[in-house]
A and B are shown apart, each in its own frame.
Chain A
Amino acid sequence: MRTQAARRRKDWALAYVLLLPGLAIFAVFTFWPFLQNFKLALYQNPPYPGLPSTFVGLSQVGDVLSSTAFHQSLISTLLFVLMVVPTGLLGGLMLALAAHRALKGMAIFQVIFSSTVVSSVAVAAVVFGTLMDPVVGLLPWLGLDPHPAILSNPTWALPAVAIIAIWQFLGLSFIIMTAGLQSLPEEVLEAARLDGARAPTMFFRVTIPLLSPTIFFGLVVGFIYAFQSFGQIDILIGSQNAEFTHTNVLLFYIYRALSVQNDPGLAAVLSIVLFVILLGVTLVQFRFLERRVHYAGN
């Protein structure tokens, strides 16, 4: 009896030791800085460096949330997300449907279609930046007027960086959709086929409904991906032009607040906004994940 209790306590100790490294990292670099945002948001940055920041309470939060720059940033972010996520998912679904057949050479196509998932944001930015350049790019050849350059043009800069993000997201979207297609119950599809369902009916009445959990998962992943994009804008448009070109998306705004404007208070308020938005998306995903895991456990 005593030895069992002793062994159990030894298990406890071991468990805590095993959890400690992860918990320590999370405490210092995730939870503490996250909570710190709520404090920083209440302090206003001094007008000159070196002076202490002053406690202003919620007034800074109010100022930021009611500022034109913030509204513009939020609109740019939402437009960006709306351009990237549906297009990326639809493109990925189409590629996945095309590649969902056991044919010779399909493995090569699958590697090609998923390839953009490994491209980094810097690589994608340099590659597309060249193609969109007014002098060395392809626009004149396509018969389009390259001036003013699309990346410094308030109308076209955001769609241009969205195209880059779509291309990058295509690989992930293809992978998710392919996994979804492969998990569809073959019996149900076969039964529908035997019932004489024609291809369009099959697609809209059988495949899409069965695929809806996958599409949903893709939506969540896509939202998070799009909200976290900013590297293309940093490389191709830059801090000075971001607001003028309406490409000052939330994450880029945070980066600028930190490293250009040197204003942790502003960055903190923006971070809280970003968190609230992503929390909404993640909570939805969690409910979903829980359900899937529950099924898997049975």
Chain B
Amino acid sequence: MPATDATAVPTRPRRFNGRIVARYLLLTLGAVIVLFPVYMAVVNSLLLPSQIAHQPPPFFPNDPQWHTYPDAWKAGHLGIYLRNSAVQTIIIVAGQLITSILAAFAFAFLEFPLKKTLFIVFLMTLMIPFEVTVATNVTTVTSLGWFNTFQGLTVPFLATGFGVFLLRQAFLQIPRDLKEAAQLDGYGHLRFLWSVAIPLARPAIAALGVFSFLGAWNQYLWPLLVTGNDNSVRTVQIGLKQLLNTQLDQINVSLAGTIIAIAPLIILLVVFQKQLVRSLTAGAVK
């Protein structure tokens, strides 16, 4: 980057600073646009309903009503919804990681009849979006007696074609010599998988884990269809819809609930940004 060479010409630094300032202004403008809706949600969650309706609208809570958060927690049953979402998400992430690792290992390291065909079968699942299978899946889950259970909520998602594809690519990058050396050392396939392949493919596995987490936590259609009203397995996304419907005159409480529901994902974003980016761009750039 030539612009960073600030010592070159005496006139250079001033122009350079102007450009930098302009760029920061542009970035700040972008950040304001992106964050504005969430900022307003936080502000409104701390106001009284009468204050929110005030014109012009207040853009800062002068007298923050912190009690809306415990109110939302209680009125919205958020404790139980968050627990349900956590259970559902953990089962799906663990299941997807296990089934993907196993299948990807077979495709990357083993030779067997119909290998190519079976790989295509796995890839074909990427062409069938879950939405076009819901009609029958609701019937299946209900007839298994899984309506309103964690099995019903999670089992249909315990495998992922994308995950198999992603991890197979990662396993294929492991040098063949390593596999042969391990074999000479008397390693069986599973021991090689556990102590060599998985550790080496950790970045890809982490990326898949974060990707699965995001998808599972934010699921909307399926939990709406297969959870009942007794709240025993209902997830926080559906809980938000209910909170909004039951607290019509308490919009501040609904917004407080929303902030609580998104908090785990903000943490996920900040801590695992690299893995998230990696999984979301798999296939875009190598």
Contacts and interface: CB of A to CB of B under 8 A. Distances in A.
Interface of A: 8, 11-12, 14-16, 18-19, 21-23, 25-26, 28-34, 36-37, 40, 94-95, 98-99, 101-103, 106, 109-131, 133, 135-136, 138, 140-141, 167, 170-172, 175-176, 178-180, 182-183, 193, 213-214, 217-218, 224, 228, 230-231, 234-235, 251, 254-255, 258-259, 264, 267-268, 271-272, 274-275, 278-279, 282-283, 285-286, 289, 292-293, 295-297
Given A29-B133, A122-B237, A179-B285, A22 B103 contact: yes
14 contacts: A21-B99, A23-B118, A26-B159, A37-B132, A115-B35, A117-B280, A118-B265, A121-B220, A127-B40, A175-B281, A234-B224, A254-B135, A271-B131, A296-B286
B220 A120 contact: yes
Nearest to B55: A140
Given A33-B140, A172-B280, A114 B269 contact: yes
A94 B29 CA distance: 12
Task: Please indicate which of the listed interface residues B24, B49, B98 has the most CB atoms of chain A within 10 Å of its own CB.
Answer: B24
A42 B220 CA distance: 29
B221 A231 contact: yes
Given A40-B136, A122-B240, A130-B41, A117 B276 contact: yes
Nearest to A238: B245
B27 interface: yes
B112 A16 contact: yes
A26 B169 CA distance: 21
B251 A130 contact: yes
A127 B129 contact: no
Interface in B229-286: 237-238, 240-241, 244, 251, 254-255, 257-258, 261-262, 265-266, 268-270, 273, 276-277, 280-281, 283-286
Interface residues of B, number: 97
Given A19-B106, A115-B34, A136-B49, A126 B244 contact: yes
B266 A11 contact: no
B127 A282 contact: yes
A224 B128 CA distance: 11
B284 A26 contact: no
A118 B261 CA distance: 11
Nearest to B123: A286
B84 interface: no
Contacts of A98: 23, 26-27, 30
A29 B135 CA distance: 11
